Structure 1
Amino acid sequence: MEIYERIRKIREDLFKGSNLDFAKAIDEKPNTTSNWISGNRKIGLEVIEKILARLPQISSSWLLSEEGPMMKADAGKDEPYLITKAGVKYFKLANGKYLMRVPFVPVKAYAKYIDEYRDADFSEPLDEYNFIVDQIGHGCYMAFEIKGDSMDDDTRKSLGNGDIVLGRELSAEHWKDKLHTNEYPNWVIVLDNTILCKQITAQDMERGTITCHSLNPSPEYSDFELSFNDIRQMFNIIQRVSNMM
Structure 2
Amino acid sequence: MLSDVDPNTTPTVKTTKGDAELGKKKVDALEGDKNKAKEKQEPTEEDLKHDKEVATRMSEIIEGASEKLVPVCKMIRNHIENFTAAKEEERNEDDLIEAVKPLLEQAEKELNQTFGAIKGADPDGKVAYRAKQATQDHTATPEEQRLAAALRVLVQEVGGTIEWAKDKLESFPKAKKDLGPLFDALAAPIVQIVGGVGMVLAGVLNLLAGILSGLGLDSLLRGLINATGLGAIFKGVS
TM, length-normalised to structure 1: 0.21
Which one has the bigger helix percentage? 2
Higher strand share: 1
Instruction: Select the structure of larger CA radius of gyration.
Output: 2
Q: TM-score, normalised by structure 2?
A: 0.22
